[in-house]
Amino acid sequence: MTDRKIVVPEGVKGLIFDMDGTLLNSTPVHYKAWLDACQPYGVEFSYDFFITLTGRPVVELSKDLIARFKMEVDPVELVMKKEQLVESNLHKVELIKPVFEVVEHFQGRLPMAVGTGASRDRAQLLLSDSGIIDRFDAIVTSDDVNNYKPHPETFLRAAEIINVEPGLCLVFEDGHLGMDAAVSAGMKVIDVKPFYE
């Protein structure tokens, strides 16, 4: 565990935060739920491998896992099993302190958005339960875009809503696909994992 502080570089005019694994420590809950949902099919995978898939909508991730591990199951059915397992563990989700400190520090000073691969319902539920939904000027979810991370649309849409040029935005991410999306959008990006792992 580390308590390093995240430093926002000079010249940044807007902040965009991924949600799962960036603002909230929900990624381990999702990982465990996916593992348990896939377990009846004899499938196991590491947390490091899982991180390479995160950031996209849940059905897309489900299709990925089914194709990769040749599981005989409908993607939506697998998602439903996974979501039930997540629901029963949402009480374990907490704010990621070093990232939340950035939110607290810049609230009212810089426009801030959430750019997540989660659905709008899930994002609103998690951000409300965590008591931070009102701190953001925009929330862009998988329901608001046609192209998912690593495509830059999520972050470009967030920048548009908060009215900040992409090149002046800083993205906070934990997932490879999200970091690729930020770079494609022409934005600066900080990998938040070293600040809390």
In this structure, the answer to whether residues 48 and 82 fall within a common structural domain is: yes
The boundaries of the domain holding residue 112 are 14-26+93-195
Sign (positive or negative) of CA dihedral 22, 27, 30, 34: positive
In this structure, the answer to whether residues 70 and 165 fall within a common structural domain is: no
CA 64 to chain centre: 17
Q: Locate 121 and state its tokens.
A: 């319902």
Render each residue's pLDDT in the chain as its tens digit; 197 residues. 456 899 999 999 999 999 999 999 999 999 999 999 999 999 999 999 999 988 889 999 999 999 999 999 999 999 999 999 999 998 889 999 999 999 999 999 999 999 999 999 999 999 999 999 999 999 999 999 999 999 999 999 999 999 999 999 999 999 999 999 999 999 999 999 999 98
pTM over 0.75: yes
Is 18 an active-site residue? Answer: yes
In this structure, the answer to whether residues 115 and 178 fall within a common structural domain is: yes
Q: Which CATH number covers residue 136?
A: 3.40.50.1000
Pick from 44, 64, 90: which residue ends a domain? 90
In this structure, the answer to whether residues 39 and 120 fall within a common structural domain is: no
2 assigned to some structural domain: no
Q: Locate 96 and state its tokens.
A: 């990621």
Q: Which of 18, 20, 144, 174 is catalytic?
A: 18
